[in-house]
Amino acid sequence: MSNIVDPLVGRIANRVHAERERRGWTLAQLAEASGVSRAMINRIERGESSPTAVVLGKLSAAFQLSIASLLALAEDGDGAAGPEPDGTAGASRRTGTAEWQDPATGYRRRQITGPDFPAEVAEIRLPAGARVPYPAAAFAFVRQVVWVLDGRLTFHDGERCHDLGPGDSIELGEPAERVFANTTGAECRYAVILARGARP
């Protein structure tokens, strides 16, 4: 691995490489399974390129992991809440938690829960005008709720479109191509809650 300026990018690189190696896949096999070019995967694994949210969606789908799981595994140890050594609950400070930013859209994601908590909770900040599409396969292995905290989210769930405002939530059903879009002039902040399942 090459030297990385952003530690989280380096951890994502290591995680993608580890998940590929765990399955015994070559770069070409992961490229075929994900639809991401072999050259791009190689750059990501070497820490030479920060993957976009769309690319992460394709890779997570190939690994049969949620995007949140893939990022949470990379973020593990960066200050997410977790138990103290004596087993009591731990506290997570906003300034001590790693935040991942999509280089293409400016979408920002922060993991709220730690790796041992039975659900994954992440805070998302979607900039004005941003649009992030994901393939159906990225939703095939999780149960997920999207809960809008501030602003407005235009959520495309297959053929259906939902305009969600503060306090609105939606439980995702069968896997479908989905788009998270902010068509307003202000940032949208929402939470994604996923039920953890067994890893493949």
Q: Which of 12-21, 67-76, 77-86, 115-124 has the lowest mean pLDDT?
A: 77-86
Average pLDDT over residues 89-98: 51
> Which tokens sit at 48?
């030479």
Q: What is the pLDDT of residue 196?
A: 62
For 161, other C-beta atoms within 10 Å of its C-beta total 11
Q: What is the pLDDT of residue 141?
A: 72
Residue 84 has pLDDT above 60, yes or no: no
Average pLDDT over residues 60-82: 68
Classified as helix, coil or strand, 188 is strand
Summary mean pLDDT of the chain: 83
Q: What is the pLDDT of residue 80?
A: 39
Which position has the token pair 């394709």?
58
How far is residue 192 from each of residues 25, 115, 120, 197, measured CA to CA in Å? Answer: 30, 15, 8, 16
pLDDT digits (tens, 9 = 90+) for 160-189: 999 999 999 999 988 899 999 999 999 999
Q: What is the DSSP letter of 18?
A: H
Prediction pTM value:
0.76
Classified as helix, coil or strand, 161 is strand
Q: What class is the 97-195 domain?
A: mainly beta
Query: Angle formed by the axes of helices 27-34 and 53-63, to 10°?
Result: 100
More confident residue, 150 or 101: 150
Average pLDDT over residues 148-164: 97
User: How far, in Å, CA of 159 to CA of 184, rounded?
Assistant: 21
More confident residue, 113 or 80: 113
pLDDT digits (tens, 9 = 90+) for 7-36: 678 888 999 999 999 999 999 999 999 999
Q: What is the pLDDT of residue 151?
A: 98
Indicate the domain borders of the chain. 7-75, 97-195
- Sheet strands side by side (includes 160-164): 131-134, 178-181, 153-157, 160-164
Query: Angle formed by the axes of helices 38-45 and 27-34, to 10°?
Result: 120
CATH number for 7-75: choose from 1.10.150.120, 3.40.50.2300, 1.10.260.40, 3.40.50.300: 1.10.260.40
175: exposed, middle or buried (Cβ count in 10 Å: 0-12, 13-18, 19+)? middle
More confident residue, 5 or 15: 15
Residue 96 has pLDDT above 60, yes or no: no
Question: Please, which pLDDT band fits residue 42 given cuts at 50, 70 and 90?
Answer: very high
Question: Please, which pLDDT band fits residue 43 given cuts at 50, 70 and 90?
Answer: very high
Q: Do the Cβ atoms of 188 and 152 come closer than 8 Å?
A: yes
